[in-house]
Chain A
Amino acid sequence: MPTPLDRLLDLPQAALGVRATRQQAIASNIANADTPNYKARDLDFRSALDSAMGGKVGGPVELARTSSQHLEAKADGLMGQALKYRTETQSSVDGNTVDMDVERAAFAENSVQYEALLTFISGRLRTMQNAIQGQ
């Protein structure tokens, strides 16, 4: 059973996972900046976090099962659902929609957010430690 101490870390932990996933999505965009017909994608952070927290909004799509023997059909990729195509700022001849400036900015922003989350987690762990030691 999750204790209040566990719950203290739930949100930053899920958010950290989403940040890491977003880092991957942006890395894909930057890596494919020269690939013809590649379409840039990014995570919708809110819906990704909602599904990571198990919320109903934007949660995994499941098929209704009328028998326990039915196979479970669940879209389990966090990436798949919250991944949205980026709106093109400048079109290019080869059909590629990666805008390097946008991607670089997003990559830097996401890195800072990731580090901030790490700081929050460390802070919460320190809080817990203080609580346990009763100081």
Chain B
Amino acid sequence: MGNMFNVFGIAGSALTAQSVRLNTVSSNLANADSVTSANGQPYRAKQVVFEARPVSEGGDASGVRVTQIVESAAPMRTTYDPTNPAANADGYVQMPNVNVVEEMVNMISASRSYQTNAEMMNTAKQLMLKTLTIGQ
């Protein structure tokens, strides 16, 4: 039955998921020009995958969680820079496939969602505190 505490679980799961998304965005933006990464290849943009997930066993209310972080399949950016040590025989350098505009949009969307969910938590808290004052 209606349990207002679940709202905290739902909003909390969304806050976690959105902050993971924000983390990948910052990783992508920071590495927008990283020609090499740990595996020696140019950095590939990372994207989160969200999934709706019931907060309680058999419940209908669902929170959200990040199931996996996938690497973008977009083609790598190629620039002509013969002086770069990573350049190939023709003088071309493989650059990360990070789309900066897309990442900025992603960042704004994640931050708005985060705000909304934080606000939702606050409202639920106020309602619960009001409930505690019944009969006073």
Contacts and interface: CB of A to CB of B under 8 A. Distances in A.
A122 B116 CA distance: 30
Contacts of B120: 27, 30-31, 107
B10 A28 contact: yes
Contacts, number: 110
B60 A31 contact: no
Contacts of B50: 32, 34-36
B101 interface: no
A23 B4 contact: yes
Interface string B114-128: 001100100110110
Contacts of A122: 133-136
B59 interface: yes
Contact-residue bracket for chain A? 35 or more
B45 interface: no
Interface residues of B, number: 38
A112 B51 CA distance: 30
B26 interface: no
Interface string A28-58: 1011111110100100000000001000000
A21 B1 contact: yes
Contacts of B135: 121-122, 125
A20 B133 CA distance: 16
Contact of A125 (B52, B64, B134): B134
B62 interface: yes
B87 to A, nearest CB: 38
A28 B1 CA distance: 15
Interface string B59-80: 1111110000000000000000
A30 B60 CA distance: 14
Contact of B62 (A22, A28, A34): A28
Nearest to A118: B130
A83 B123 CA distance: 22
Contact of B2 (A24, A80, A107, A125): A24
A121 B18 CA distance: 38
B3 interface: yes
Contacts of B95: none
A17 B60 contact: no
B10 A78 contact: no
The 6 closest A-B pairs by CB, nearest first: A20-B2, A21-B2, A31-B14, A79-B60, A35-B50, A24-B61
Given A16-B2, A32-B50, A78-B2, 6 more contacts: A19-B2, A32-B64, A34-B21, A34-B110, A77-B58, A118-B133
